[in-house]
């Protein structure tokens, strides 16, 4: 969704309903936004599955994500 000269992209995990958003210059390729949003969602899902206080390394595999561009 364009916001002035910026683009806002949301990724939603279909299984949990967890949503993340990323913003960036509208001039960037949409594929870049999709990749960043999916990585952010993967990290957020990984963090939500860890017991509190535990840290992880590497990205989790996200479930099915719907990208809103």
Q: How many domains does the chain have?
A: 1
List Cβ<8 Å contacts ≥24 apart for 58-63.
62/13, 62/38, 63/13, 63/14, 63/15, 63/16
Question: Does 1 reside within a domain?
Answer: yes
pLDDT of residue 40: 96
pLDDT tens-digit series, residues 23-65 = 999 999 989 999 999 999 999 999 988 876 665 554 444 455 5
**What pLDDT does residue 56 have?**
56
Q: Give the pLDDT confidence of 3-13 residue by residue, as tens digits.
A: 678 999 999 99
Domain around 48: 1-7+15-22+43-53+62-69
């Amino acid at each position: 969704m364009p916001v002035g000269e910026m683009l806002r992209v949301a990724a939603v995990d279909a299984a949990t309903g967890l949503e993340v958003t990323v913003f960036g210059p509208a001039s960037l390729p949409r594929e870049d936004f999709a990749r960043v949003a999916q990585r952010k969602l993967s990290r957020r899902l990984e963090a939500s599955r860890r017991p509190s206080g535990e840290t992880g390394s590497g990205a989790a595999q996200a479930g099915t994500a719907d990208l809103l561009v």
